[in-house]
Structure 1
């Protein structure tokens, strides 16, 4: 039976929704062809029917003639899917996409007698899919070019559905570590911070959360804390049915914001993949476009899209309209028409170069004159002009992303103006003024410093100023700065600096730390004053005291010798009242000479300290024995006093025995002098761990709390009740403090007014 004779077959073929052509297997003559096949082929029926199959389709015979022959030989079908063909339809070359099948039709003897060619065109679907893929790819590129962080989080488990490269960089994570995983599993160190709770609240309530300058702390792999600050916005997201199921997180890191405003926020965009079916592709495309428009419109930075070389304003969010000082009425107008005030400014030329070259343009703090409310205003921007390619690969649009930094620029200029004013003032004052970074690196010297050293700022900057400092004082200066840095108080020191002539000049140096709100040092301000004349005057006084002490010592010694000789001679004579009075007077003179000798010794010690010549002769001895000897001497000379002694025996130390004796004598003498209404003095020696505690306690007038830190200063004297005068120069405790310090020890005082004082000397055992 001939297939073409079947009315049923003809009806089926003609009504089929796909193209069908039935060929004779022997000579490939087309015996039957339906309208759908003719529509796809773009040919008339008489051009195919009754003709050899490759005659009307000569343009594709080279590709598929062999496949058709093999179907007849093997009896197996040949199938293709989504083939791109260049065919001649309606007399013109045309690129189409088809799927077709060569199906063998065997006769009753199982011999292939016919071949059915089934064909279906899917050119529209393929082209729509290509457009969708291109749109999605462009959207991904645009969003990843934005210097902003965007992440989409879904559900109560806070699953990260989409994140861009910028956000991954901020989190320091890879895409594999983030996408599809819960937020708190990705960043467990944020569990104690407010973000997870805020995300869930946005999903539950639909509330928009907008937070400025939020602190975000990340725990690094080495255990350190990375402290950052961000501005962020949580926007609720809904599914196609309107149910809230996620949050769009847009954030902008503002950690480095010393003299600049906020950095461009980083965005990310969901990636959408197209389905093979047209309906799904269209849906994905529509969703991508909607998301793109949503992100653009709701972004907290200025974003616009300019189309074509005419720079037609295709998209402009509210932020960029505010920056431009315009309304939505400019959308659809060329930029030169929308912002006529740009004429004569460089922006139109820059944008044209971006369009023609395909290279992005970046600028920070670029200025523009824009009309706001009929008035031209100078506005500063951080801006990015990013070219966007179309389907043909050529630039079709320019993405404009801008941040208004006018406030920061104006603020910085005010600071710079203030700094210039400060520098001019600093050059006028007679003192030497300098500024330094927290690490001590100097950033400013005033004119007095430069003239004094005869050096340029380039020579002195960083740590070059050390070459002006005396080498003996650099270590102490650095230690003092470290202590001031810890306590946040100025470091005051007397130092020598080398002048232009190479001479070292004494200065009073005050280094004051400037603290921020968190108590951290932001810089140092130093004031240095020449005190060379004062030091020379002190040296002259010290030399005079030293000379006077030496000159007085010889006649006083001679007088004391004659007095003691007379006392010995008088001791042999008895009976005369005159001799008795003379003996009493000479004894008094001898006591006064002893006191005068002690004062002269103190003055000599003071001059030795000033000259750096107070040497120690250290030996190994038992300090409890020394204390006992000194106390016994006081018991003989002050028999009206009671000296209560408490001693730990056999305590051996290495020290200068005479100097430690001098310390003890001075403390006991002060206890007696400043206790006019008490006759009791407590002395104790005790061993505590690696130091010896030598204590002297009296029950006298005591020391005011405000004076307790001054009692060891040179020439300081404690006043009694009603300004009662106590004799002395006020150098005894200064000498005590100096001797103890030279032994590597320290001395402390505890006192209350009218209740007495306790002085404790701490000496190292070794």
Structure 2
């Protein structure tokens, strides 16, 4: 007769396993529904008894009659609290559920008004209004909610149902059923709050979000972001999406919605171009989006969720980057230089077409094997060590080296490696450019061979000429007749000797240049006094340049281990250059001193000076500084080049301080381990 409480059999229905937390909400809803069904059945049962039964007018007999008519078994098994009140609102009957629910003693209820029950807990304004005002006029009141804070059980929400019942007596009775729907209300409030948060999350999200329902993809929910992007205004809710956005039909977006709806499989897209309306015009945008199937509690697909992000700016930037990369690769492949790009660790990931043609290898093959594998075996170890030092310090590098071509021949290349940094100065890439200079090297070799031949051919007659001049000088000194004649032969012979000395020096420089290029210049290191070497050289030059004042200042006494002739060659070059560029001021200052852990020799003039743009070029081969009216000073322009090579081979350094019109100072230093 009454619905029985359903027992849990240990197996969850399928719909309870789809979402986390879904089972709890569904179980509450199920229990609430059971209680409502049970209450409804109870009402019907009570109405049946109240309509069919009568009680006597006598109060005691009426009570007895009520007890007989309302079967105790039935009443005691009803889970809903029930009261029967007389026309004075006194309690005539209360079932067990009422006592259990509201913690009221049975002894305190008999014959008392309902307002006095439980220490007057039931003196509730809303209840008075129902029983004294509303109910007499309507004869029945259903589903009236009352909120009240009870002393024993706390704040509760009660669902009241009341009606007058006619038992064919002179008295009137009120049947009052009370259902505690506090849990239900809390569940409803939580559900409303959850739904509110859900909708707030959707509408406040910067992402484009919409929920489409049914096979027609009717717009159920659409946040402001997606409505703005659609450009159709807010009146899109409740309409099929493809009716709202007909421009999507030709772009086959409807097919995607259908596929997700029919298969239940999501669809993802990255930077997909979509034509959509914006400010009354169709524009092209790019979107990342997901079409996700929406399911009911039975797992059936009921709609499609659209979650998208407008990435137009990012996509356009990526397209520009791709176009820039395409142009870059085209340019790299067009260049005759061999270009490869490496990451910050030096691992190459790109080789241009010139590299591929030079080696007849694919890009993957070159990436798997470093380009240094193509170095000449005799140079590989030293060059690799130099490159590693450059990478470690993050500095540019420029070197000449031989690389093996597809035929196995080694060709000379000028290789330059430069680092690339990001906006924050972090090293991100290395770019290597290799330019073949094989023909240039061959031409230089021919020139070197020519210079070597000429030098050797000139050396013998010049040496002989110098010997004859010295012989004539000695004969003049021993001839009394020539001395008596007062003929100015000796000054002319001195000038001839000076010019021969210059010619010999040039010849030796050309020979040294040839040896340097052939890597045949050997250093013969000995232990000698640097002060004595400087003094001896100045004494010899003072004899040749009598119109020049050369001052020397020895600030230390230095014994060094070096190639005496080569160091002397550097000192002579510095001093003769100082004399050459001194113009009218024929004063040269030479200084020998110690600088921390180094020995230094300084040669300073007060001549024309060197322009800033020339400072980085004066040590290159055959470079000469121009003087007034674009005239170029005499010499081959190889003296400073040779001096720099000699000092570097001694692990030293050359420093130049100069300003135009204020003279120049050339300093070479040698490290501590070059002297005692």
What TM-score do you get using the length of structure 1 for normalisation?
A: 0.60
* Native 8 Å contact 1:750 1:757 kept in 2: yes
Task: Tell me the SS of whatever aligns to 1:628.
Answer: helix
Partner of 2:457: 551
Partner of 2:33: none
Partner of 2:672: 765
Pick the aligned partner of 2:383 from 467, 473, 492: 473
As a proportion of its length, which structure holds more helix? 2
Query: Aligned pair in 2 of structure 1 residues 396, 612: CA closer, same or farther (>3 Å)?
Result: same
Q: Cα distance, 1:501 vs. partner?
A: 0.5
Task: Tell me the SS of whatever aligns to 1:753.
Answer: coil
Query: Aligned pair in 2 of structure 1 residues 727, 319: CA closer, same or farther (>3 Å)?
Result: same
Task: Tell me the SS of whatever aligns to 1:643.
Answer: strand
Partner of 2:22: none
Q: Cα distance, 1:327 vs. partner?
A: 2.5
Query: Aligned pair in 2 of structure 1 residues 407, 280: CA closer, same or farther (>3 Å)?
Result: same
For 1:415 and 1:565, how far apart are their aligned partners in 2?
Answer: 80
**Structure 2 residue 235 is the aligned partner of structure 1 residue 320:** no
Query: Aligned pair in 2 of structure 1 residues 761, 344: CA closer, same or farther (>3 Å)?
Result: closer
Query: Aligned pair in 2 of structure 1 residues 38, 712: CA closer, same or farther (>3 Å)?
Result: closer
Query: Aligned pair in 2 of structure 1 residues 37, 716: CA closer, same or farther (>3 Å)?
Result: closer
Pick the aligned partner of 1:39 from 15, 39, 43: 43
**Structure 2 residue 588 is the aligned partner of structure 1 residue 678:** no
For 1:124 and 1:573, how far apart are their aligned partners in 2?
Answer: 153
Task: Tell me the SS of whatever aligns to 1:330.
Answer: coil
Partner of 1:658: 565
| Structure 1 residue runs without a partner (length 5+) | 1-34, 61-76, 82-97, 107-115, 117-121, 126-274
Query: Aligned pair in 2 of structure 1 residues 392, 45: CA closer, same or farther (>3 Å)?
Result: farther
Pick the aligned partner of 2:635 from 724, 728, 732: 728
Query: Aligned pair in 2 of structure 1 residues 729, 372: CA closer, same or farther (>3 Å)?
Result: closer
For 2:622 and 2:669, how far apart are their aligned partners in 1?
Answer: 23
For 1:480 and 1:124, how far apart are their aligned partners in 2?
Answer: 88
Task: Tell me the SS of whatever aligns to 1:506.
Answer: strand
Partner of 1:700: 607
Query: Aligned pair in 2 of structure 1 residues 357, 44: CA closer, same or farther (>3 Å)?
Result: farther
Q: Cα distance, 1:529 vs. partner?
A: 3.2
Pick the aligned partner of 1:500 from 406, 413, 417: 406
Task: Tell me the SS of whatever aligns to 1:563.
Answer: helix
Partner of 2:437: 531
Q: Cα distance, 1:356 vs. partner?
A: 6.4
Q: Cα distance, 1:625 vs. partner?
A: 2.9
For 1:124 and 1:311, how far apart are their aligned partners in 2?
Answer: 40
Partner of 1:198: none
Partner of 2:574: 667
Partner of 2:212: 306
* Native 8 Å contact 1:654 1:765 kept in 2: no
* Native 8 Å contact 1:79 1:101 kept in 2: no
Q: Cα distance, 1:732 vs. partner?
A: 1.6
Partner of 1:714: 621
For 1:722 and 1:315, how far apart are their aligned partners in 2?
Answer: 86
* Native 8 Å contact 1:301 1:401 kept in 2: yes
**How do 1:41-56 and structure 2 match up within 5 A?**
44-45=48-49, 49-50=67-68, 53-54=72-73
For 2:603 and 2:341, how far apart are their aligned partners in 1?
Answer: 47
Partner of 2:448: 542
For 1:356 and 1:58, how far apart are their aligned partners in 2?
Answer: 50
Query: Aligned pair in 2 of structure 1 residues 294, 683: CA closer, same or farther (>3 Å)?
Result: same
RMSD: 4.5
Query: Aligned pair in 2 of structure 1 residues 734, 43: CA closer, same or farther (>3 Å)?
Result: same
Q: Could you list the per-position Cα deviations for residues 272-296 of structure 1 after superposition, in whole angstroms to 9, with x for gaps in the alignment?
A: xxx9566666666555544443443
For 1:104 and 1:37, how far apart are their aligned partners in 2?
Answer: 26
* Native 8 Å contact 2:211 2:221 kept in 1: yes
Task: Tell me the SS of whatever aligns to 1:621.
Answer: strand
Q: Could you list the per-position Cα deviations for residues 341-388 of structure 1 after superposition, in whole angstroms to 9, with x for gaps in the alignment?
A: 545766445545655666654332344455668877654321123445
Pick the aligned partner of 2:474 from 548, 557, 568: 568
Query: Aligned pair in 2 of structure 1 residues 718, 371: CA closer, same or farther (>3 Å)?
Result: closer
Q: Cα distance, 1:602 vs. partner?
A: 1.3
* Native 8 Å contact 1:496 1:506 kept in 2: yes
